[in-house]
Structure 1
Amino acid sequence: MLILYGTSACHLCEIAADLLRDASLEFEEADVSESDVLFERYGLTIPVLKREDDAELNWPFDAARLAAFVS
């Protein structure tokens, strides 16, 4: 499962989520503002996409980088 770290007020996070939806990928969204630990880790770098193997794809990414990351 993919996890997209972001916040509800982040327009870049919305763009990243749209890229994931356009690619028909299943993902969970995690709001970093709801956790001190997540905010400390990702607060300045959102959006960040994380795979099950803990590999992370930091913004900016496009459809091609996304496809390479998930394959």
Structure 2
Amino acid sequence: MQSRNMLTNTKTENSDLILYHTEGCHLCEIAQSLVEQLALSYQHIDICDDEILAERYGISIPVLVMGDKELFWPFDVPQLTDFIRSVV
């Protein structure tokens, strides 16, 4: 539980976390659930609204991005926690 509290305390710092997804993507829903389990602040961006994003991430979603770092699916809570710690 302490790792969750540590991540929650950095909530304002990780508001630049972006979850790239698209409607109807069940893996994206799972990824969103993982992010929300850690009570992280994030942006939720549908790649279908942007041709460049759709081309870049179309076969890779869900993808988490923070700064210049990307975390591609599949990932779990420990991997997500490590990713956040590596960029905060």
**TM-score, structure 1 normalization:** 0.95
For residues 1-71 of structure 1, what are the structure 2 equivalents within 5 Å?
1-51=16-66, 53-71=67-85
Unaligned runs of 5+ in 1: none
Say how many residue pairs are matched: 70
Higher helix fraction (1 or 2): 2
CA apart distance, 1:56 = 0.2
Q: Percent identity?
A: 47
More strand by percentage: 1
Unpaired segments of 5 or more residues in structure 2? 1-15
- Displacement over 4 Å in runs of 4+: none
TM-score by length of 2: 0.78
Q: Whose radius of gyration is greater, 1 or 2?
A: 2
